[in-house]
Amino acid sequence: MPPKLAALAATGLVLASACATGPGPSGAVLYRQNCVSCHGTDGAGDGPMAADLALPPADLRGLTAANGGVFPAERVMATIHGYRGKDDAALMPEFGPVRHGPPLIWTAPDGREIPTPPALLALAEHIETLQDRPTPARQ
Ligand code: HEC
């Protein structure tokens, strides 16, 4: 598994804590606050709001598998940042405003350097940890 995002997120924390704003919330916290209602705790797409949506929330656990074994970090971050949906319904909200601290420079796999809100990096890193997670037995 590519450790790049984890390393970047760690760098982000170091950078952010060097600034007056301090580090933002972790990816897990951001995910819980903004995403669980639709995508569910484990990213299976089974959040409490899922049943009310015309289009089921994506199962976020299979993104790496569907992308040839590479976590599609850039697509995930673009999706979260400015989501338009597969149709005009745009069921998933845009999270462009979810910003904490100044943008960090994220280096894409092809070498492009992209200023990226730390919250997006944190969320992408969290979603990467959900990959291939089995559906847990509900307690
Ligand atoms: C109101 C419900 C809702 C919320 C809240 C929501 N999503 Fe979604 N999300 C969806 C739906 C519905 C889709 C699938 C739509 C489609 O495929 O067109 C989706 C798709 C996605 C995808 C695309 C997966 C792929 O196959 O490329 C990603 C990534 C994603 N969501 C991440 C997130 C993250 C991270 C958050 C929180 C910051 C979030 N979503 C919050 C409903 C939601």
Q: Render pLDDT for 91-113 as a digit per residue (tens, 0 to 9).
A: 666 665 565 668 889 999 899 99
Locate 103 and state its tokens.
């943008």
Q: How far is CA 46 from CA 32, 38, 42, 56, 61, in A?
A: 13, 7, 9, 9, 12
> What pLDDT was estimated at residue 78?
82
Residue 68's contacts (CB-CB under 8 Å, 6 or more residues apart) are: none
Whole-structure pTM over 0.85, yes or no?
A: no
**Ligand 1, pocket residues at CB < 6 Å:** 34-35, 37-39, 49, 53, 55, 57-58, 60, 63, 75-76, 79-80, 85-86, 91-93, 95, 123, 127
Measured from the Cβ of residue 100, the count of other Cβ atoms closer than 10 Å reads 17
Give, for ligand 1, the residue of 5, 32, 33, 39 to mutate: max count of ligand atoms closer than 8 Å to Cβ.
Answer: 39
Contact predicate 80/120, CB 8 Å: yes
Locate 10 and state its tokens.
């760690």
pLDDT digit string, tens, across residues 61-82: 999 999 999 999 998 988 887 7
Q: Give the Cα separation of 23 and 53 in Å (integer).
A: 34
70 against 18, higher pLDDT: 70
Delimit the domains of the chain by residue range: 4-129
